[in-house]
């Protein structure tokens, strides 16, 4: 279940039969938003030519008043491919569907995110008897946590994510494959703040212990 944020990255291999999701967060009114958003998506298609036959444009608005309705010329795209989420309205929705829960996870406070993520993972296991689909949905939930909640403590992250299982997903493999050592090293200070030892950081980032030590010394 490939998920693309803002400046869209290359398609992830292994998900050619799944829909592509292009996600954009919008916090102000932009009269030309949909022209730009749809334009970027089609430039992406031209550049990468993904094999995926279906796709969705997901717009996450902080408030509904910041949405500029798309021009009628885009009606066909809107009906088939556009989905909008309004963050300030999520708290009033009592529906307990997995989709609504995942949307809420995007904006949930760190103090509540652990419990919500655990609920969503449990719900995904119950809702999807197909093991492959179940793994993809859980990996998507894990990806939100991985990207959206960098300030959680190590204990909270471990409680929320099965790190060993996460490392066996295509998502984790794709992150590691496209992450240069210099980029990985930038995560080291944050890992120290979370209470991780040099050895744990080296194993987590898959880098040599001496490289980690040298980098942290240079930053101090």
Say yes or no: 155 and 195 in one domain.
no
pLDDT at 6: 44
The packing angle between helices 170-178 and 131-148, to 10°, is 40
Residue by residue, DSSP assigns 109-173 as: -HHHHHHHHHHHHHHHHHH--SHHHHHHHHHHHHHHHHHH-TTS-HHHHHHH--HHHHHTSHHHH
Domain boundary among 62, 92, 122: 92
Q: What pTM does this model have?
A: 0.50
Say yes or no: 76 and 115 in one domain.
no
Say yes or no: 135 and 70 in one domain.
no
Domain of residue 187: give its range. 180-220
Tens of pLDDT, residues 105-157: 877 776 777 788 888 888 888 887 877 777 777 777 877 776 666 666 655 66
Higher pLDDT, 158 or 31: 31
Domain count, the chain: 3
Tens of pLDDT, residues 58-89: 888 878 999 999 999 999 999 999 988 887 77
Domain boundary among 26, 61, 92: 92
Say yes or no: 83 and 39 in one domain.
yes
Say yes or no: 80 and 101 in one domain.
no
């Amino acid at each position: 279940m490939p998920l693309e944020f803002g400046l869209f990255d290359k398609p992830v291999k292994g998900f050619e039969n799944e829909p592509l999701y292009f996600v954009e967060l919008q916090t102000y009114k932009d009269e030309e938003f949909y022209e730009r958003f749809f334009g970027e998506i089609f430039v992406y298609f031209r550049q990468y030519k993904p094999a995926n036959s279906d796709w969705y444009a997901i717009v996450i608005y902080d408030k509904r008043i910041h949405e500029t309705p798309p021009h009628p010329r885009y009606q066909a795209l809107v009906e088939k491919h556009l989905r909008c989420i309004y963050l300030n309205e999520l708290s009033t929705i009592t529906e307990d569907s997995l989709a609504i829960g995942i949307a809420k996870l995007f904006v949930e406070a760190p103090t509540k995110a652990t419990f919500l993520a655990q609920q969503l993972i449990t719900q995904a296991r119950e809702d999807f008897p197909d093991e492959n689909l179940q793994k993809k949905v859980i990996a998507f939930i894990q990806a939100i946590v991985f990207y959206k909640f960098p300030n959680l403590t190590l204990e909270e992250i471990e409680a929320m994510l099965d790190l060993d299982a996460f490392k066996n997903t295509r998502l984790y493999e794709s992150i590691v494959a496209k992450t240069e050592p210099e980029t990985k090293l930038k995560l080291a200070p944050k890992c120290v703040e979370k209470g991780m030892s040099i050895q744990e950081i080296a194993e987590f980032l898959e880098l040599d212990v001496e490289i980690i030590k040298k980098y942290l010394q240079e930053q101090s």
